[in-house]
């Protein structure tokens, strides 16, 4: 076949058509991007909310079309899909201009489907909590009425905007009257008012009732991995790590006890370790007790077990076991009201567990409180430094409501630190870099 020739007139027409197409494409591009920008502004409008503070200053949401908020993307994407059906020009523009320019990869959201609208997982995933937090992973749920979640914080970094959010921990309840919810909120309010940074607890970032999704949420700073996570990686800990932990924990409990709060939550999963400092954090105050230390008749020396004092010793949870059975104190295991001494006793069980990787009892034992009473300190702290025996003796001699000599308790472990020539100052442990394993 011969080659088809093109006349000058046909070439001019083709060039003119190409020019017209380019002009039309440029025009459609301007229109499409302008519409997209307007829609984007509407999509993030709900994130411009006045926070519930005294001055009602307008909050700022840091995102843009170049680095768009993932929440706006979720709303914008279906609209852009429909835009592609308008004509071939819009289809090309959406694919090559708008989506490439605006809809960049975002942090992963856990792909979980919850069919029940009443379930707490469903509620938190439908909400933009406090106008800035988006749940993306479930940590734990209890019967669908409450749960702990990991969320993205889309207002935490003004330089990165919403393309690189930090993370936070969300505790949510479907029932605002839930007792654990009320206890947790009260505890964090007291601790936050007393300066959370000095008390080694997570900062309370937000709290409140979401009437649109009928849930109450506490949003807390993500402070790092727990001792549980650490032990799953390195196994039982060495004595330097435990002594350092003991010094920090005793100091922390001294401060919260002076505020009248009994943690009742000692366990590896409730102690978190900073990845950047040697600091530790206590979490989970949902089972805590509150003592009005200034009004208690036994403020200085504790209370005896005489008949007239039984109404104090058996409190609101008389006969009920409230707390983790492995680490709960003997009297707490028996259903008696807990005080400062019970937190310190639970710490003793924790120290033994961290060193040996186990305790002389387990969750399956029905008579666990009897096993605790029958286990001598020599067995509990077998092959451990004498400082643990000294600590145990002092703690077990405390009366209900008696404030311990916390400096003396810390002193036992400081002496151990110096006697064994551990590196650094007493209690100084880098949880990310130091050798923590107790496995030889």
The CATH number for 240's domain is: 1.10.510.10
Give the rounded distance of the alpha carbon of 329 from its chain centre: 26
Boundary (domain end) residue, out of 45, 73, 102: 102
Banded model confidence at residue 70, pLDDT cuts 50, 70, 90: low
- The answer as to whether 114 is a domain residue is no
CA dihedral for 308, 310, 311, 313, sign (positive or negative): positive
What's the pLDDT score for residue 158?
Answer: 44
Say whether both 133 and 204 belong to one domain.
Answer: yes
pTM, full prediction: 0.74
- The answer as to whether 302 is a domain residue is yes
Say whether both 210 and 257 belong to one domain.
Answer: no
Number of domains in the chain: 3
Q: What angle do CA 85, 90, 93 make, to 5 degrees?
A: 130
Distance, CA of 283 to CA of 287 (rounded, Å): 11
Say whether both 364 and 250 belong to one domain.
Answer: yes
CB 101 within 8 A of CB 109: no
pLDDT digits (tens, 9 = 90+) for 310-357: 344 444 454 566 778 899 999 888 878 889 999 999 999 999 999 999
Say whether both 124 and 78 belong to one domain.
Answer: no
What's the pLDDT score for residue 2?
Answer: 53
Q: Look up residue 183 and give its two tokens.
A: 């206890």
Domain coverage including residue 27: 22-102
More confident residue, 12 or 25: 25
- The answer as to whether 80 is a domain residue is yes
Phi-psi group of 46: left, alpha or beta (phi > 0 → left; psi -120 to 50 → alpha; rest → beta): alpha
pLDDT digits (tens, 9 = 90+) for 161-200: 455 678 899 999 999 999 999 999 999 999 988 875 677 8
More confident residue, 380 or 336: 380
């Amino acid at each position: 076949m011969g080659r088809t020739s093109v006349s000058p007139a046909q070439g001019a027409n083709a060039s003119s058509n190409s020019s017209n197409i380019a002009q039309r494409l440029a025009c459609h591009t301007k229109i499409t991007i302008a519409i997209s920008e307007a829609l984007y502004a509407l999509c993030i409008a709900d994130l411009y909310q006045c926070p519930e503070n005294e001055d009602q200053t307008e909050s700022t949401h840091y995102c843009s079309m170049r680095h768009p908020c993932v929440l706006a993307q979720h709303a914008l994407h279906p609209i852009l899909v429909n835009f592609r059906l308008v004509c071939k020009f819009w289809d090309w523009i959406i694919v090559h201009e708008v989506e490439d320019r605006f809809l960049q990869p975002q942090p992963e959201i856990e792909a979980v489907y919850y069919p029940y609208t009443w379930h707490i997982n469903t509620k938190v995933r439908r909400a933009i909590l406090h106008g800035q937090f988006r749940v993306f992973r479930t940590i734990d749920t209890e019967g669908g009425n409450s749960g702990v979640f990991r969320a993205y914080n889309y207002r935490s970094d003004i330089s990165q905007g919403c393309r690189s959010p930090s993370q936070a921990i969300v505790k949510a309840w479907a029932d605002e009257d839930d007792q654990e919810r009320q206890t947790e909120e009260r505890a964090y309010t007291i601790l936050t008012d007393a300066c959370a940074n000095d008390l080694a607890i997570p900062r309370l970032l937000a709290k409140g009732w979401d009437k649109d999704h009928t849930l109450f949420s506490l949003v807390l700073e993500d402070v790092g991995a727990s001792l549980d996570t650490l032990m799953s990686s390195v196994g039982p800990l060495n004595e330097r790590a435990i002594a350092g932990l003991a010094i920090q924990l005793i100091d922390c409990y001294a401060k919260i006890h002076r505020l009248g709060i009994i943690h009742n939550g000692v366990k590896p999963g409730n102690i978190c370790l900073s990845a950047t400092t040697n600091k530790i954090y206590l979490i989970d105050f949902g089972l805590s007790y509150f003592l009005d230390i200034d009004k208690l008749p036994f403020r200085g020396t504790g209370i005896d077990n005489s008949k007239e004092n039984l109404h104090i010793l058996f409190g609101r949870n008389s006969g009920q076991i409230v707390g983790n059975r492995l680490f709960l104190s003997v009297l707490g295991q028996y259903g008696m009201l807990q005080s400062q001494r019970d937190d310190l006793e639970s710490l003793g069980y924790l120290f033994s567990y961290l060193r040996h990787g186990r305790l002389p009892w387990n969750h399956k034992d029905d008579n666990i409180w009897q096993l605790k009473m029958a286990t001598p300190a020599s067995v509990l702290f077998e092959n451990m430094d004498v400082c643990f025996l000294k600590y145990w003796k002092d703690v077990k001699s405390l009366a209900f409501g008696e404030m311990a000599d916390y400096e003396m308790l810390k002193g036992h472990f400081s002496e151990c630190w110096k006697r064994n020539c551990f590196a650094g100052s007493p209690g100084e442990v880098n949880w990310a870099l130091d050798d923590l394993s107790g496995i030889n």
